[in-house]
Amino acid sequence: MLERDLVEERIKQTIAAEVAAVSNLSEGIDDNFYRAVALIADRGGKILITGVGKSGYIAMKMVATLISLGHESVFLNPLDALHGDSGMVKDDDVLVVFSFSGGSPELVRIVEHLKKHFSIGVVTITGNCNSMLSKLSDEAITFSVEEEGCPLGLAPMASTTASLVIADSIAAALTSPDTFRQEHFAMFHPAGSLGLSLKKVKEIMRGGDELPKVSMYISFEEVLEAITSQRLAQIVGVVDEEGYLVGALGDGDIRKMLIKHGDLRGKQINIFMNQSPKTINEDDSLQVALQTMKEHKINNLFVTDSNNVYIGFIHLHDIVGDYATS
């Protein structure tokens, strides 16, 4: 049985150690850090990132972050690289090495091999400025960790946290909002909630000939035919002479009116249409559209521009068909 007081004490010690390690990083943003970032930025090829053990996972995360921000990046497993994967390396690539000790034999060996056979730049992120990897590197980013935060003092915790922050800092330094904008990020993240938040309604809405639309002055018989022809939504937007959305009418509305009034033949639809249809702006995100549908328990929304002109239509299936959340 775990004792709560001891558990809380260990948790707080670990958090304190990691916070301290990250806080100390600001002091390490010096000329070495800048030159390392400049070396990566000025590469002619791709960014190769490597590490072993826990540092290997930090390297993989940095690869994933860089790729999502438009930087060509590949994880290089040092063991596999010694058995054929070094074939991915090309001149003008840059190699980023994560090793807190700076002396991992596998990393030392692969760095020596690559520098001998390829014209590449090497940046090491380490806790030891006098290590073998630091000496082999063109630039080294060093940081210190007073305490790992592991109750046994064995497992890397604060050091890997600090390494992760350095990795994110490099990614941020390499990424300019002048050249990599939100639309680029959206292109790389089409699925899940992130894709929904970045994609706009106007990018997938139905418009033109697909727009379910009728005039407010047509008869019941005509609107019934128009609704029946809608294979998915079975609902139409009702517009005035200038194209403004003034209402909506669906098969459910018609059934209700038939029950209430009986014969509707010859009646104009502006008498019994829904005069407050749910709308969304064309520049809203798909996430907003999905949330609006959920909030009002509906499956479709009418899309209007800033002047309330009816320009599009979006159904729940349009969103979840290609943007199912993961």
Which region among 173-187, 211-225, 268-282 has the lowest average model confidence (pLDDT)?
173-187
Q: Is residue 259 part of a domain?
A: yes
Total tally of structural domains belonging to the chain: 2
pLDDT-based confidence at 324, cuts 50/70/90? Answer: very low
Dmax (CA) of the chain: 91
Residue 232's pLDDT is 56
21 and 168 share a domain? yes
The pLDDT tens digits of the residues spanning 276-323 come to 888 898 888 888 888 888 888 888 899 988 888 888 888 887 776 654
What is the rounded average pLDDT of the residues 225-239?
74
Residue 266's pLDDT is 64
More confident residue, 34 or 308: 34
- Assessment of whether the complete model's pTM goes beyond 0.75: no
167 and 207 share a domain? no
Residue 272's pLDDT is 74
209 and 156 share a domain? no
What is the rounded average pLDDT of the residues 71-91?
90
Q: Is residue 251 part of a domain?
A: yes
CATH number at residue 153: 3.40.50.10490
Is residue 46 within 8 A of residue 72, CB to CB? The reply is yes
Answer positive or negative: Cα dihedral of 144, 147, 152, 156. Answer: negative
Which residues, listed in sequence order, are joined to residue 51 by a DSSP beta bridge?
98
73 and 174 share a domain? yes
Q: Is residue 55 part of a domain?
A: yes
Residue 205's pLDDT is 86
277 and 238 share a domain? yes
pLDDT value at 325 more than 60:
no
239 and 307 share a domain? yes
Tokens 């639809």: give the residue.
Answer: 269
The single-letter DSSP state of residue 231 is S
Q: CB neighbours (10 Å) of residue 210?
A: 12
56 and 138 share a domain? yes
Q: Percent of the chain beyond pLDDT 90?
A: 44
Q: Is residue 191 part of a domain?
A: no
The pLDDT tens digits of the residues spanning 161-207 come to 999 999 999 999 998 776 555 554 554 545 555 556 567 888 888 88
Average confidence score pLDDT of the chain: 84
Pairing assessment for the beta strands 245-250 and 235-239 based on DSSP bridges = antiparallel
Strand order across the 310-315 sheet:
279-281, 300-304, 310-315
CATH number at residue 211: 3.10.580.10
More confident residue, 186 or 269: 269
Residue 202's closest CA among 300, 304, 270? 304
pLDDT-based confidence at 226, cuts 50/70/90? Answer: confident
Which range of residues forms the domain containing residue 227?
Answer: 198-322
Q: Is residue 276 part of a domain?
A: yes
175 and 281 share a domain? no
Residue 88: CA count within 13 A, CB half-sphere: 19
Q: Percent of the chain beyond pLDDT 70?
A: 86
Q: CB neighbours (10 Å) of residue 27?
A: 9
152 and 297 share a domain? no
153 and 281 share a domain? no
46 and 127 share a domain? yes
72 and 108 share a domain? yes
